[in-house]
Amino acid sequence: MKAHIVTLPGDYIGPEIVAQAVKVLNAVAKKYGHTFCFDERRLGGASIDTFGVPLTDETLMDILNGKGYRIARRTVAKYREMLGIPVARLRKQI
């Protein structure tokens, strides 16, 4: 099995839990011949500190791509607009 996994450690205890989960998945991959590719993205307070928003369009795109949905960042922005979710610049002000 081959899988692309986006990890979202978040805040508080999240980073420690995600780090241990990655170790477990790597052990499973080694034992059973799987291949896992991990991409860590920021979420929540860590994302706010870095990007000014709790969840970026890029992170959402990576999550969807990791689940097998081939989607471009512009598509995420399009549907965000259709749902009435403001752009990152305006979300900072909320």
Answer yes or no: is pLDDT of 32 > 70: yes
Give dist(CA 75, CA 94) in Å, integer. 23
Q: How deeply is 82 buried, as exposed, middle or buried, from its count of CB atoms within 10 A (0-12, 13-18, 19+)?
A: exposed
Q: What's residue 36's pLDDT?
A: 96
Answer yes or no: is pLDDT of 93 > 70: no
| Residue-averaged pLDDT of the chain | 85
